Amino acid sequence: MRMNLNNTMIFVGQARPSRIAITAAFVLAAACGGCRAKKTAPAGNRIGNLPDLAPLHPPPPPAETLPDPAAVPPPSHRGGTLRVHLDAEPINLLPLAESDAAAAQVTNGLVYETLLDCRDGTYRPGLAESWDVSNDGMRLAVRVRSGVHWHDHRAFGVLDVQATVEPLLRAGTDAPVLRAELADVASIELVTERTVRFVLKRPSDFALRALCDVPMLPDHLVRGIRPESSPIARQPIGTGPFRFAGWEHGKRIRLERVPEYWGPPAALDEIVFDLDADTVRALNRTRRGEIDVLPRVLDVHYPEQVEPTTLHGATTLIRLRSRRYSFLVVNHLHYPLSDPRFRRALAGLWDRQRFAGELHNDLAAPIGGPPLSDDLPAPPFDRHRVAAALDDAGYRDTDADGVRDHLGRPIRLTMLEPAGNRLFHVEAHGFALEARKAGVLVDLVPADGATILARLKHGEFDLVPMIWEGAPDEDPATLYGVGGAFNFGGYRSSALEALIDEARGAAGPVARAPILARIARLLGDDQPAIFLYRYDVPALVATRVHGLAAIGDHLDLRRVWLDP
């Protein structure tokens, strides 16, 4: 989960190929995930007056999609080097370091592995060969796989599980998202040489689900010291199909295939992550065939620079459907934001459809609730309908000054916005204008990232924009449950708590899916936050690349093979 304030990355979670993104990341005040500066007119010229506008960009170019990992067939050829673009140099290569998405992109699933594998929507053995839940649901016994070795040839075992998980159970961990996922775990016990027991605070299948996200670290290199002080911060040692082979700072990071890997061997000889902060050069290198995978086409390059005529048949445009979504955090301790009727009305004043086309190049899909299943339709943009709803809820302009009031006081809200984020300001300004026309005052207050985060934690806000790096089968309690680690708005709902308890008791992701869909509908109706968009991500892949899969907008390189 990542936070982005004014384009400065502040991580309070972990970028992840499965859930720790990236995942579960969350990003504050970066609700311009698909924005392009050169297509935006001054706020007072277009968006502020809200005239009818024709599209300012061409229609989206044709794009393909990628399969889920479980649908990828075995490789047809072995050998070769895959070159992947990396737009920022990692601080280190720790998989639990929730300060660096680039580190997770390089290591997760390739160098480091988890106990369970949830890629196909079910629980499958990873470094654990089996698991068993006690009859009362309060204990989870996990038997680790034999014959697995770290890349330094030491055997993997239960001590490694203990050394990885125990620090995540303590308050103050540097991995708050993983700690939130493990919230139902009270302790971990060693049972036998190959069995470890998780003692739970309450029966919860989400505890088992968390084991799909926690990358295992070697006990002999991390026990008793902070991981960032360990040699693995610079030279990672995992159990995965690729091992660390070198890091030329400012140039590239190399991984090479592990011949003695415990599972099906990788097809590639090596993966080279090319470090290049110049996105124009990276795009041109991809089109020339010097880079095989460009994981993200920047918004300033989309769609003109990825039209079929510019790719020359050697590169394919991919559109990745992510679960990354934006919303306004609402402070439920501040009336009238505690009133769902007021929140629902307010949600109808954000012109999502227009902004999605004008500012996001149709890479942002308007939503009316969290994308825990399918996208929920966004509330219609209709000022007159909003005005009628506010009237019906009792929020009226009793003194004819053009501003609605409550108990004799005008309704005035403050929205914190990231200083210098011009494109988000365009949307926020349009929203504030529409709110003013509906009789609600919204003051926009720019602030730096540290200030916004501090005010969030102390409840000193009315509205704050946020992006959450969602993932399949995630626990909604983290964001919306009572006591949730990132429920900054203080939302409480007995109906939601009952559904979350039901989701905890479901036997796996498939059984949980319809419950999560009901939760999404409940949240869409109650609007504990004002939901804005879910974002798609364009990427480029060379036509010689096969076997590439995706989980949301995170690429799975494990079964990739190349044309000879």
Give residue-wise pLDDT tens across range 339-370: 999 999 999 999 999 999 999 988 999 999 99
Query: What does the H/E/C string look like for 299-324?
Result: HHHCCHHHCHHHHCCCEEEEEEEEEE
Q: What is the pLDDT of residue 60?
A: 81
Is pTM beyond 0.85 here?
A: yes
As a whole number of angstroms, the distance between CA 129 and CA 257 comes to: 23
- Check whether the bond before 303 is cis (ω within 30° of 0): yes
pLDDT, tens digit (0-9, with 9 covering 90-100), for 132-183:
999 999 999 999 999 999 999 999 999 999 999 999 998 877 788 888 999 9
Q: Please list the ranges in the chain whose pLDDT falls under 50.
A: 1-55
Q: What is the pLDDT of residue 262?
A: 97
As a whole number of angstroms, the distance between CA 335 and CA 342 comes to: 9
pLDDT, tens digit (0-9, with 9 covering 90-100), for 277-325:
999 999 999 999 999 999 999 988 999 899 998 998 899 999 999 999 9
As a whole number of angstroms, the distance between CA 236 and CA 228 comes to: 11
Q: What is the pLDDT of residue 175?
A: 81
- Residue 186 sits at φ, ψ, to 5 deg, of -90, -40
Residue 445 in contact with residue 416, Cβ under 8 Å?
A: yes
As a whole number of angstroms, the distance between CA 355 and CA 73 comes to: 40
Q: What is the pLDDT of residue 5?
A: 36
**Contacts for 498 with CB less than 8 Å, ≥ 6 apart:** none
Compute CA distances 201 → 146, 205, 393, 525, whole Å: 29, 12, 41, 31
